[in-house]
Amino acid sequence: MATLKEIAQKAGVSVMTVSNVVNGKTEKVSKETLERIQSLIKEYNYVPNLNARSLVKNNSQTIVVFVSTFVSHENVFKDPYLSEFFGEIENLIRQNGYYVLIQTIDAIENAATLMKKWKADGAVFISPVSPEKIHQLKQECDCPIVFIDSCDSEETSLTVGINEFKGGFIATKHLLTLGHRKIGIAGYYDKKSAIVQARYQGYIAALKEFGLDEKDAVILHTVTTYEAGLYFGGAIANHEYDITAVFATADLLAIGIMEGARRNGCIVPRDLSVVGFDNLSVSQIVTPKLTSVSQDLKNKAAEAVELLFKAIRKEEIAQPHIICDVQLELRQSVLERVL
Amino acid sequence: MATLKEIAQKAGVSVMTVSNVVNGKTEKVSKETLERIQSLIKEYNYVPNLNARSLVKNNSQTIVVFVSTFVSHENVFKDPYLSEFFGEIENLIRQNGYYVLIQTIDAIENAATLMKKWKADGAVFISPVSPEKIHQLKQECDCPIVFIDSCDSEETSLTVGINEFKGGFIATKHLLTLGHRKIGIAGYYDKKSAIVQARYQGYIAALKEFGLDEKDAVILHTVTTYEAGLYFGGAIANHEYDITAVFATADLLAIGIMEGARRNGCIVPRDLSVVGFDNLSVSQIVTPKLTSVSQDLKNKAAEAVELLFKAIRKEEIAQPHIICDVQLELRQSVLERVL
DNA sequence: CTGAAAGCGCTTACAG
DNA sequence: CTGAAAGCGCTTACAG
């Protein structure tokens, strides 16, 4: 492997001059020297050693993308939402001329060490992190970090999320508008999860707008998997819940509910209307196609990366907490309720 | 940020001694010194600078995972197969104590430069690479590289693939065994793609085993998308092809075919049997559930990573070309053909 | 426009 | 068991 020094010797110039042309500071170099060096670089196939550069510059052109395996200790890239979002993030970081180091972690504690080891210029956490952990991470790290789908109101935290409240609201309102009055909400109802809480609040707000209230809420507490959906779909079909529609806080859960209901003789949307959340591409493939709350992943990723690079460039950040819009994708899993 | 030097000063020892304890060479250090240094490391929260270490060791504990955007310039992580496989690979590399740098590339030419810049210890290409490109990459790089789903017979190339021939064979044989004699094969029939060729050869071999031959083959030439499937499903329903079953070389295509056929009054599996390829998790969610050729992604990833690290450790490699087994997941999209 | 030199933080023989 | 010193390949003031 050729080094700066070798190229400099062949060219009969100093190392510094070669360094300058490698880094595009060509205004400091005479035309002849420039050309001579450039052809030498080509000839010897010179590639700068990033480790050496990073050592002196004390950075690394690297962004670490963290994804947690807290919940499932499975392969997190099986999750289509996470994979697709990661793809968008990777794309944008690369376009900014940075490298992406991907790291799945089971304990947030290791994250800070990793960033320091690498002299990372920034980091993105694409799975939710609690406010306490966010606080801790900010203490330990000196590089900017953007947190996705995490709730933290501190001015100095950078977060990008979606309007969870609105998601719950428009899903429920859609069902109400079509005449449904007995509407369940299915999901992992965890008081600690701000995300789920917000969706639930949106659900309640919609109910209230139609003269119902909290005691009309029907909560189907469950993990958000296809299999759980099968179970609850069956339960609904067997009238264990008195509802004509259900808002599932995850598409896979919704799809499971549709299938579970069908297996028990309850046809969606004729007998039961279903709205999902996430608008996974699979929701367009199942029968009936699933009506779902959709987020614009491309936009969300763009906001996150923009926020990150603004912070890296030490620009002023007017709005450190970005909330992306959601909308309802109308498809075939919802039908008017004839009263 | 604390450095070795600082810790050494506080401890009243040389830099080398601290380096030794950081690297676990504790047998060279007296117990008291060891403990003193360890507590200092903790107190000052010392984290070694990987860039400095890499510079002197001329490696980086880093594996680059390349995924190409040749075909679609879209977000490649939308592809569930690729995402899941990447997740498995990432998992295993990390468990081996290495870091993974992910890089999507549109031109293979950039790959070699990147590996050199980073002093990568190894690389994995998770999308197919042509034999010529493989040859070129091996010339330019000095680190081991494992190629997934790529065909190259050179002794010095490391490849991990699946038994594509068997995949085509068992899918077709399954249909034949159930009485089907007019069986189409749907996929991107590209003479240059060894993968597709092998599946096609398996299809033909199965036909021959049942007294049919190449002229009984019905090729539905198409890109392997859901939308294309919709079209061909419709075409089949409208008798544009004289077939009672179809082997689709991709699940999404197969699912599209089922839906396209259904929309045109042709019910799967009653009127048409369908076999897919890849066994994506979505194939278990659609109605009817899709019978599909399945590969063991976990095993494939394990083989790839084992091969890579064997090469990195310079162990002898008995078998540089690994072909993983496939099997047929029987579900609901195939029915016996009553003659 | 170009050069000589210091230094980034680490590891590694070599010597004691 | 411990240390002094060289060196990895680069960048960056500083000087001319």
In degrees and rounded to multiples of 5, residue B245 shows phi and psi of: -155, 155
CA closest to B230 among chain A residues = A285
Beta bridge partners of A123: A64, A145
pLDDT at B70 over 70: no
pLDDT computed for residue B186 by the predictor: 96
For the residues A95-113, what does the mean pLDDT come to? 92
pLDDT at B325 over 90: yes
**Closest nucleotide (CA of A6 to C1')?**
D9
CB of A318 within 7 Å of some strand D atom = no
Instruction: Flag the least confident range among A153-167, B9-23, B120-134, B216-230.
Output: B9-23
**Closest nucleotide (CA of B30 to C1')?**
D1
Cβ of A83 and B103 within 8 Å? no
> Does domain A164-295 match CATH 3.30.70.260?
no
* E strand map for chain A: 62-68, 99-105, 122-125, 145-148, 158-162, 183-187, 218-221, 245-248, 273-277, 291-295, 321-324, 326-329
Cβ of B259 and A77 within 8 Å? no
For the residues B51-72, what does the mean pLDDT come to? 88
Cβ of B103 and A103 within 8 Å? no
Q: Is A60 on the interface with B (CB under 8 A)?
A: yes
CB of A30 within 7 Å of some strand D atom = no
For the residues B156-174, what does the mean pLDDT come to? 96
pLDDT in tens, B216-226: 999 999 998 99
- CA of B160 vs chain A CAs: smallest distance (Å): 20
Interface A-B, measured as beta-carbon pairs within 8 A, has a size of 130
Q: Which two tokens stand for residue B295?
A: 């590969």
Q: Give residue B303's pLDDT band: very low, low, confident or very high (50, 70, 90).
A: very high
Chain B interface test: which of A102, A279, A297, A299 (most B C-beta within 10 Å):
A102
More confident residue, A36 or A98: A98
pLDDT at B339 over 80: no
Residue A44 CB neighbour total at 10 angstroms: 14
Those residues whose C-beta lies under 8 Å from the C-beta of residue A29, and which sit 6 or more positions away, are: A17, A20, A21, A37
pLDDT computed for residue B6 by the predictor: 87
For the residues A54-74, what does the mean pLDDT come to? 86
pLDDT at B185 over 90: yes
Enter the DSSP assignment of A289.
Answer: P
Q: Is A72 on the interface with B (CB under 8 A)?
A: no
Domain ranges of chain A: 4-48, 62-162+297-324, 164-295
B75 chain-A contacts, CB cut-off 8 A: 84, 87-88, 91
For the residues A242-271, what does the mean pLDDT come to? 96
pLDDT computed for residue B106 by the predictor: 85
Chain B 1..30 CB hits on strand D (< 7 A): 12-17, 20, 27-30
Q: How many Å does it take to go from CA B5 to C1' C7?
A: 14
> What does pTM read for this prediction?
0.93
Q: Which CATH number fits domain B62-161+297-324: 3.30.230.10, 2.40.128.90, 3.30.70.360, 3.40.50.2300?
A: 3.40.50.2300
pLDDT in tens, A277-287: 999 989 999 98
> Does domain A62-162+297-324 match CATH 3.40.50.2300?
yes
The CA distances from residue B70 to B67, B90, B105, in Å, are 9, 22, 8
Q: How many Å does it take to go from CA A56 to C1' D5?
A: 21
Q: Is A219 on the interface with B (CB under 8 A)?
A: no
For the residues A205-212, what does the mean pLDDT come to? 97
% of chain B surpassing 90 pLDDT: 71
Cβ of A117 and B47 within 8 Å? yes
- CA of B284 vs chain A CAs: smallest distance (Å): 10
> Does domain A4-48 match CATH 1.10.260.40?
yes
- Give CA–CA dist A235/A237, Å, rounded: 5
Residues 104-123 of A with CB under 8 A from B: 104, 113, 116-119
pLDDT computed for residue A333 by the predictor: 97
The CA distances from residue B267 to A144, A195, B182, in Å, are 55, 41, 17
- CA of B165 vs chain A CAs: smallest distance (Å): 27
Q: Which residues touch strand C (CB under 7 A)?
A: A 12-17, 20, 27-33, 52, 55-56, 58; B 1, 3-5, 15-16, 19-20, 22-23, 48-49, 52-53, 55-57
Which of B55, B90, B262 has the CB atom closest to A52's CB atom? B55
Q: How many Å does it take to go from CA B213 to C1' D8?
A: 64
pLDDT computed for residue A73 by the predictor: 62
Q: Give residue A155's pLDDT band: very low, low, confident or very high (50, 70, 90).
A: confident
- Give CA–CA dist A224/A248, Å, rounded: 8
Cβ of B285 and A255 within 8 Å? yes
Instruction: Flag the least confident range among A15-19, A167-171, A270-274, B311-315.
Output: A15-19
- CA of B57 vs chain A CAs: smallest distance (Å): 10
For the residues B194-206, what does the mean pLDDT come to? 92
pLDDT computed for residue A339 by the predictor: 64
CATH topology agreement for domains B4-48 and B164-295: no
Q: Give residue B37's pLDDT band: very low, low, confident or very high (50, 70, 90).
A: confident
- CA of A216 vs chain B CAs: smallest distance (Å): 31
Residue A241 CB neighbour total at 10 angstroms: 17
A42 CB burial (10 A radius; 0-12, 13-18, 19+): exposed
Q: Which two tokens stand for residue A294?
A: 């959709």
Cβ of B101 and A101 within 8 Å? yes
% of chain A surpassing 70 pLDDT: 98
| DSSP symbols for B78-89 | G-HHHHHHHHHH
Q: How many Å does it take to go from CA B57 to C1' C9?
A: 13
pLDDT in tens, A172-199: 999 999 999 999 999 987 777 788 889 9
Q: Is B47 on the interface with A (CB under 8 A)?
A: yes
pLDDT at B23 over 90: no
